[in-house]
Amino acid sequence: MVKEGLLARTEETTRVSATDRAVVAKRADAGEPDTEEIEHLARSAGYEVATVLTQTRPEDSALEFGEGKAEELARVVEREDADTVLFDNELGPYQTYNLGQLLPEGVEVHDRFTLILEIFGQRAETRTAQLQVELAELRYELPRAEAKTSLAKREEHPGFMGLGEYDESREQDIKSRISRIRDELDQIEQTEQHRREQRRESGFDLVALAGYTNAGKSTLLRRLATELDVDENEALHDDLDATAKSEDQLFTTLGTTTRRADLGDREALITDTVGFISNLPHWLVESFKSTLDAAYRADLVLLVVDVTESVESIREKLVTSHDVLHERNEAPIVTVLNKIDDVDEEELARKREALSALAPHPVVVSAKEGQRVEALRERIRAALPPLEEERLVMPMTDDTMSVVSWLHDNARVEDVTYGDDDVLVEFAARPAVVEQSRSKAAGLSPPAESA
Ligand SMILES: Nc1nc2c(ncn2[C@@H]2O[C@H](COP(=O)(O)OP(=O)(O)OP(=O)(O)O)[C@@H](O)[C@H]2O)c(=O)[nH]1
Ligand SMILES: [Mg+2]
């Protein structure tokens, strides 16, 4: 059951055992309820889906389902010997409690978001990921704790409906924990920002992969990456990982992974990020801000889409992704339609046409089979902010040659002309590198007549 345990779980992560059997439930206001995604989520969390129960009707404030359907749910759970009910609908605390009363003893009730948080809890390996997951859990819990407090107050009935002790201090605990986590994440973000600056100054373009979970971002990263062992470079470390995992599961990537990609005359660092999920609640997106910053602060975003999905689904995902990204990102976005190995030409053409307003010039690829990856590289190169042309005249001093060699490492050097006592270097580079080269050149003082 959804309870105060959400917070405790980060310290002592509950692992769903392989034998956990779940009944998936979903209510829709109208139309046939689609349970594909919630089933995928359930399996990603490690549940075996015993059966699915759906209902089309307005929400029941006490039980989510209508009363008869809720009773049927209890019988089905009993019959299937299930230990968990997974609702695709968001459940309020009273609905969760009432359902718990109706179901056989010991059966847990999760809604879509506690299920997502459960997966996150299982996958969070790095400190940043763990903090973000805990933040998301607390943000989910806070309004529920507030509702409980105000109801308990109104009813003047501590322990209202058995929902636990009326406890205002719980609310305070959550709030202060949220602010401590925020502080720590702010620190991490500053460090990351500094690292991004360093990487730019080293001449790298920063490219981020964004998109919904399971779109193929990690698979694409592995395709684009040219080098596995970049660790010897001191400016690049920590999240540079050779193993960007990918599985047919949701949220395989929670932290970021960065790999180097050679784009001919440009060198890019490509970062994989956490995937989005449909019905993105604001608190969930916000909680993963530190990880998503890689996308928000990139020079270019590759928005990866699974082209095997329906046009309506792709359209919805594109709109939401653009909204999330545009809120803080000015970098160009290139839409990548992935998994073309899985659709025929006619279907691809039809979908491209249907999506042309949202994704006017998509790049189509198969990350898995490697089709058209060269075209994508070409497109990335073209979409990156242009390099700045620079001519630098430097006096010949003991340190001049080290600046020239630094330029060879960090810029595209077009010509070097040696005069009697100076050197002219013509090059193209990222603005940050040009700026740095100017200050390096200014620091070179000619031997005698410097005054
Ligand atoms: N047919 C096909 N399958 C693909 C392709 N690219 C990725 N996949 C499969 O799609 C699934 C998800 O791929 P990932 O690379 O893990 O997706 P992701 O976007 O990183 O997912 P999250 O980390 O969960 O956000 C895996 O089973 C991949 O093998 C492709 O081009 N064609
Ligand atoms: Mg991934």
- CATH code of the domain containing 435: 3.30.1370
CATH number of the domain residue 77 falls in: 3.40.50.11060
**Boundary (domain end) residue, out of 103, 123, 143:** 123
> Does residue 194 belong to any structural domain of this protein?
no
> Does residue 336 belong to any structural domain of this protein?
yes
**Boundary (domain end) residue, out of 364, 383, 402:** 383
pLDDT for the residue 329: 75
pLDDT for the residue 19: 61
Confirm or reject: Cβ of 366 under 6 Å from ligand 1. yes
pLDDT for the residue 154: 66
Is 266 found in the same domain as 316?
yes
Helix orientation angle between 289-296 and 311-326, rounded to the nearest 10 degrees: 90
pLDDT for the residue 161: 52
pLDDT for the residue 12: 37
Best substitution site from 119, 212, 219, 307 to test ligand 1's pocket, by max atoms within 8 Å of Cβ?
219
pLDDT digits (tens, 9 = 90+) for 42-93: 998 999 999 999 999 999 999 999 999 999 999 999 999 999 999 999 998 8
Is 175 found in the same domain as 77?
no
> Does residue 88 belong to any structural domain of this protein?
yes
**Boundary (domain end) residue, out of 138, 163, 188:** 188
CA of 257 to the centre of ligand 2 (A): 9
Is 420 found in the same domain as 375?
no
Is 23 found in the same domain as 52?
yes
> Does residue 402 belong to any structural domain of this protein?
yes
pLDDT for the residue 245: 59
Query: What is the number of domains present in the chain?
Result: 4
Is 104 found in the same domain as 246?
no
Confirm or reject: Cβ of 247 under 6 Å from ligand 1. yes
Best substitution site from 122, 213, 214 to test ligand 1's pocket, by max atoms within 8 Å of Cβ?
214
pLDDT for the residue 363: 96
Is 217 found in the same domain as 163?
no
pLDDT for the residue 164: 53
Is 267 found in the same domain as 368?
yes
> Does residue 250 belong to any structural domain of this protein?
yes
Closest ligand 1 atom to Cα of 209: 19
Confirm or reject: Cβ of 253 under 6 Å from ligand 1. yes
Is 174 found in the same domain as 82?
no
Confirm or reject: Cβ of 213 under 6 Å from ligand 1. yes
Is there a contact between 298 and 206 (Cβ–Cβ < 8 Å)?
Answer: yes
The boundaries of the domain holding residue 137 are 127-188
Confirm or reject: Cβ of 341 under 6 Å from ligand 1. yes
Q: What's the 3-state SS for the chain?
A: CCCCHHHHHHHCCCCCCCCCEEEEEEEECCCCCCCHHHHHHHHHHCCEEEEEEEEECCCECCCECCHHHHHHHHHHHHHHCCCEEEECCCCCHHHHHHHHHHCCCCCEEEEHHHHHHHHHHHHCCCHHHHHHHHHHHHHHHHHHHHHHHHHHHHHCCCCHHHCCCCCHHHHHHHHHHHHHHHHHHHHHHHHHHHHHHHHHHCCEEEEEEEEECCCCHHHHHHHHCCECCCCCCCCCCCCECCCCCCCCCCCCCCCCEEEEEEECCEEEEEEECCCECCCCCHHHHHHCHHHHHHHHCCCEEEEEEECCCCHHHHHHHHHHHHHHHHCCCCCCEEEEEECHHHCCHHHHHHHHHHCCCCCCCCEECECCCCECHHHHHHHHHHHCCCCEEEEEEEECCCCHHHHHHHHHHHCEEEEEEECCCEEEEEEEECHHHHHHHHHHHHCCCCCCCCC
Which residue positions in the chain have pLDDT lower than 70? Answer: 1-19, 151-152, 154-167, 227-255, 446-451
- Residue 241 CA: which ligand is closest? 2
Confirm or reject: Cβ of 131 under 6 Å from ligand 1. no
Confirm or reject: Cβ of 368 under 6 Å from ligand 1. yes
pLDDT for the residue 124: 83
pLDDT for the residue 238: 44
Is 361 found in the same domain as 230?
yes
Best substitution site from 43, 44, 123, 246 to test ligand 1's pocket, by max atoms within 8 Å of Cβ?
246
